[in-house]
Chain A
């Protein structure tokens, strides 16, 4: 087990561990102190006792030696005995010795002659051991220990003189176990007494020594001879020294173990009572973190209880606040209707439960909401939406209206419901389009509706709700009550997002080019000018049509750069054409926005003047609608600078005679929609005839666009149109091909001439 985890994992374990360790440490110290002081005391007592024993032994030893010596002296001084020894009367000697031994309990007596012959109590003769004999001859009165055949003897020898030395009276007693035991009994403690050769105990003479198991004291004992030194060794086992204290030590050990166990248990209990509320709080906080709100039940009236109380009340606050936040996040703040987020969530939930073909999304739009809001104010407009929502809910029972934008109300319609159809929605739009009374005023609610089928719109980059919004845009634009989202109509607006930057790049790298379509003079039967038409060959998208990027350029303001590029390119191309020998004007399409831009006008005039180019700007009538005064001033400026003005696409849009009258154009181009049907009906022919006449009356030449048949061209020539433009003559072509075309044309001209 990982100690670190054990230590960090649980406060309870940590507390228990720390207190147990502390207690254990203290007990250990106390036990150690007690043990060592006892041990030291016990050993001191034993040491004192050992020293006392040594002293007692010494006294006893001396007494014994004196006792034997005294008796030996008495014997050696006896006249009869001396006579017996001097005359080597061994029988008499033996009897005298036996007599002495009978008087002395436990002491052996013998007599040695000067030559080492030894007579013992039974009168037998033997030879003294060599070293004993040496001691006799070298010492006057030897006394001490004899070590013989692994036995020790205390001996005293006294010389016998008659009057010369005739022998020694020899007294000895064996230091057998009995004698040792009697020595041991002198001590207050049960010591063990032994006699050992001195060399075995060399270091410990007279002092206390210590072995692994025992304490001891030794005392050198006088040897009978000179060599053969011996020592008395008194030992006392440490075990025995400690024995009296063993119950006490055992008691301390037991108390320690018992105390430690008690501490672990009680520490555990205390720690648990401490940590249980903490654990409960911990769990509650963890649960809260993972989204479960569980109140803590800690009932103690201490800090933990208060903390738990605070936690619980905080939990309540948190719940209320979170509910409020959820509410807010789901609700439209103006109307208290559910909002877009709520709709997205609900739809997601519904789809996951039912599948994508089970539902339709409808968006009911309040048209002209901006005007309404401007008229009656924000909150009233919101009230109007609220009224609408109530009507929708009433009409379509059970449907939840979501206000997904200020103008739009979204509905999630299950397929099973009859409302998920265009006819039903049309009825809903009509039914709800009643004026609403807001405050004092009556407000018209003009509605349209978009419908989206998540299954149909599967390939679209936007979700079903947005698809319904786009459908509502369609419906609004087309003035229809209901429109369904159509993926094909929708195209892919996302592609246009990077279109402008790519267009700017194309201007410089040759992606953009001008193609030219000739204007053919019907009266002169020759090419009298060109219309420059922009073409974009995109590296990945292929050919991008002007209808697809010019409106975007107008919206984003890039139209100025585009127009400038076209003007410059046309001037450059015209120079090329001139070099080939053709001096022909080039028409350039100029957006209405440019007619409100004085700086553009000045720039263009400057360009034309400096280059000497012959240009004509083709504009639409609607170009002057926004700021007619300014537009006309600029148009006049162009005219006075030698730039031709041509009214383009005449008849296609809203044609206003008043504007036509004001615009000082020198050319009018009839829209190709008229020309294409020219050969089919009379009404068009009439209109074209009258238009040609009108234009001529106003001093403008007329160009017919979209001429695709020889018949049409013939008709137009009859009608008095000045020029024709169209596929019958030439489709728009790159500059070099147009130059080839011109060469062929003039050749034909020369041929015909």
Chain B
């Protein structure tokens, strides 16, 4: 098993070397919980200075569907207008009491969409006053180098030259943010282990 894993690692390394050489430098982060399980929805950010306007290639939308927020974790740049489209038949009352990003979208119905400008980097915990079990998080970032892990716990980022560390955040992690030193070799994958609180929902 270990042999297979090493072989895979070697192949990935080799592949990334090939692609790295073709485009910018890309680094893969592998986030898992303390038991080694891949952790989904972990957000990795690497700070960058003097960057222009930040664009992500995913929609800045927090959809309500089937009495659930979707996605569970949404990464948005500071100052972005985040849309809250309601696809449910019922109405929702979405709020956030998170510092700097407080807002309240009172009772909007199906197919209505509201948007909120999130001005401060950090986390906005989103809830619905009507449906207590609806929880989601919006990670507001001030760097273009940010992405969240998939179901396999992996995320690949283009890193700016000279970046020494990355920050990994997860809504259930304790503490919320963890700083990770970046290796000199950009092509080397970064394994991150987070201590995660048991899911309450």
Point out residues on A near B: beta carbons under 8 Å.
77, 79, 82-83, 86-87, 161-166
**Is there contact, CB below 8 Å, between A79 and B129?**
yes
Query: How many A-B pairs fall under 8 Å by CB?
Result: 30
* Interchain nearest-CB distance for B67 vs A (Å): 13
Contacts of A165 in B (CB 8 A): 200
**Chain A interface mostly helix, strand, loop or mixed?**
mixed
**B133 (CB) vs chain A CBs: closest residue:** A163
Q: Which residues of B contact A162 (CB under 8 A)?
A: 97, 125, 127
CB closest residue in chain B, given A83 = B97
Q: Are A163 and B99 in contact (CB under 8 A)?
A: no
In the assembled complex, 8 residue pairs joining A and B whose CB atoms fall closer than 8 Å, in A order, are A83-B97, A87-B99, A161-B127, A162-B127, A163-B126, A163-B132, A164-B135, A165-B200
Asked whether A82 and B97 contact (CB < 8 A) given A162-B125, A163-B127, A163-B135, the answer is yes
In the assembled complex, the Cα of A54 lies from the Cα of B128 at a distance in Å of: 44
Additional 10 contacts, C-beta under 8 A, given A83-B97, A87-B102, A166-B97: A79-B95, A79-B129, A162-B97, A162-B127, A163-B126, A163-B127, A163-B134, A163-B135, A164-B127, A164-B171
Name B's interface SS.
loop
Closest 4 CB pairs between A and B? A163-B127, A86-B97, A163-B135, A164-B125
B132 touches A87 (CB 8 A): no
A86-B125 Cα distance, complex, nearest whole Å: 10
Task: Tell me the chain B residues, 77-129 only, with Cβ under 8 Å from chain A.
Answer: 95, 97-99, 102, 125-129
> Which B residues lie within 8 Å of A83 (CB)?
95, 97
Residue ID in chain A nearest B69 by CB atoms: A163
Rounded to whole angstroms, the CA-CA distance of A83 and B99 in the bound complex is: 11
Which residues of chain A are near B99, meaning CB under 8 Å?
A: 87
Smallest CB gap from B135: residue in A: A163
A residues less than 8 Å from B95 (CB atoms): 79, 83
Report whether B132 and A161 are in contact in the complex, using a CB–CB cutoff of 8 Å.
yes
A243 to B79: give the CA distance in the assembly, Å. 83
Q: When each residue 127-148 of chain B gets 1 if its CB lies under 8 Å from chain A and 0 otherwise, what string results?
A: 1110011110000000000000
CB distance from B92 to the nearest CB of A (A): 12
* Contacting residues, chain B, for A82 (C-beta < 8 A): 97
- Measured between beta carbons, the chain A residues less than 8 angstroms from B135 are 163-164
Residues on A with C-beta less than 8 A from B134 are 163
Minimum C-beta distance from A27 to chain B (A): 75
Q: Which residue of A lies closest to B137 (CB)?
A: A164
Give Cα A82 to B125, complex, Å: 13
Interface centre among A83, A162, A165 (most CB of B within 10 A): A162
Residues of chain A within 8 A (CB-CB) of B98 are: 86
- Complex contacts, A163 vs chain B, CB 8 Å: 125-128, 132-135
**A83 to B98 alpha-carbon distance, docked (Å):** 9
The answer to whether B200 and A87 touch across the interface, beta carbons within 8 angstroms, is: no
| Chain B contacts for A87, CB-based, 8 A | 97, 99, 102
B residues within 8 A CB of A77? 132
Looking at the assembled complex, report how far the CB atom of A431 sits from the nearest CB atom of chain B, in whole angstroms. Answer: 164
